[in-house]
Amino acid sequence: MNQAEALALIAEIFECPNTLAPSTQKHNVRGWDSMGVLSLMAEFDDRFSILLTQPQLEQMKTVDDILQVLRDHGHLAA
């Protein structure tokens, strides 16, 4: 998966316009709320077998923090 595809996926998960950038902050992402976090956890589990933990989620402040999880698990080129 490349970065553009990953950003499109995250936008789809949060049900927001596909205008996200790695630097986009959490509070600027419509849909990055408790329902959005549940969708993120479910999609990462189903699609990538990545189990997001509470400490990980607490640390996520930008879209790039989500992309980094994909990089760490080999699903996104660095």
Tell me which residues touch another protein (CB under 8 A): 12-13, 33-35, 37-39, 41-43, 45, 51, 53-54, 57-58
Per the DSSP assignment, residues forming a β-bridge with 62 are: 25
Q: For another protein, which is the closer residue by CB, 37 or 64?
A: 37
Q: For another protein, which is the closer residue by CB, 4 or 51?
A: 51
Instruction: Give the E-state strand segments of the chain in sequence order.
Output: none
Q: How does DSSP assign 21-36, residue by residue?
A: -TT-BGGGSTT-SHHH
Please, what is the minimum distance in Å from the beta carbon of residue 43 to another protein? 6
